[in-house]
Amino acid sequence: MIKNYLSYAVAAALFAASGTSNLAFAVDEANPEQLMKPFSKPQGLVIDESKKVEVKGRIGLSELGEALPDVDFYAFHGKAGDVVRLDIDGGIKSAGTGRSLNSLIAIFRPDGTVLAQKNDVGLFDIDEGSIARFDPWIENITLPVDGVYTVGVTSDAMYADRSMRVFLDQGQTSSFVGTNMLQANGTYTLLIDGVSKTELMQQISIDIKPNAKSITTHANSNGKIPVALITSPEFDALKADRDSIKFGPPNGSGTTGKCNKNGANLLCHFDKGDAGFAEDDTEGMVSGTIGGKPFQGKGWLKVIPVRSKDD
């Protein structure tokens, strides 16, 4: 189940018994509609002074014993230089088998590329809390930049050609080979350690070039590109801190613009040349704060090269 609602579908509470301060629970997975949501809308995690968070999750509709393809995505705001550890503990298959879930974990950079991943560990590397070498962990992951990092959890799978499942960029996994693909469903605990205390990053909806037939822009060209920040029950765009709003590629610093009320939404115009898009960019991102708390939103666009007069 890919987690939805980065900013508000989070349950955080003290969990003193285990020594981990933050305890989060996955959003409801009993509903099939919660399965296979976009990589762009993970479940957000709050990191407090402990620098730790623990998530109780599951792959698929485990209470029904159905083995359904499923991926869980979580996100947190990390800082450059944070040294992070990811750990899956207690992975158990559903349907009362008592066998390991055989998990696969990965962490993605803010631009959606894979930073690190692992499926199994060595027989002598099983850590406390794991029931088998199929509960993977990764340590000493140094975060390269400030930004929102995404963690993916799913069950490993063996394909018809005996190859194992891997995560690819943008939250994808390796393609199925034939129809003989075994994937387990079940429960697990995800531990994330080493992240600096951060504010929860709220995900919002944006509309790049509203009502345009072609969502394109030129790299480093003159002119403005309009972007609407969409009001929702969880986000009042008109209350956003306008001086904080920036737009650009997900892995760039972006540029500020001029924003005005447009009905219930906020319509901002940004300088194309200052936004910093490259010809291979396929997303634009708005970031800013509302009441001092951070938010961001992404939208698809196509960046095309600027043609010279000689072309």
Residue at 71 is within a domain = yes
Half-sphere exposure of 35 (CA within 13 A, CB side): 15
Are 85 and 222 in the same domain?
no
Residues 95-152: tens digit of each pLDDT:
555 555 778 899 999 888 999 998 876 566 666 666 666 788 899 999 998 888 999 9
Residue 151 lies in a domain: yes
Residue 218 lies in a domain: yes
Flag whether 46 is in a domain.
yes
Count of domains for the chain? 2
- 293 and 221 within one domain: yes
Question: Does one domain contain both 55 and 180?
Answer: yes
235 shares a domain with 167: no
Domain with 174 in it: what CATH number? 2.60.120.380
Regarding whether 131 and 270 lie in a shared domain, the answer is: no
Residue 143 lies in a domain: yes
157/279: higher pLDDT: 279
Give the HSE-up count for residue 191: Cα atoms under 13 Å, Cβ half-sphere.
23
CB 223 within 8 A of CB 308: no
SS3 (DSSP) at 150: strand
| Same domain assignment for residues 46 and 102 | yes
Q: Which residue range is the domain that position 120 belongs to?
A: 13-193
What is the model's pLDDT at position 214? Answer: 65
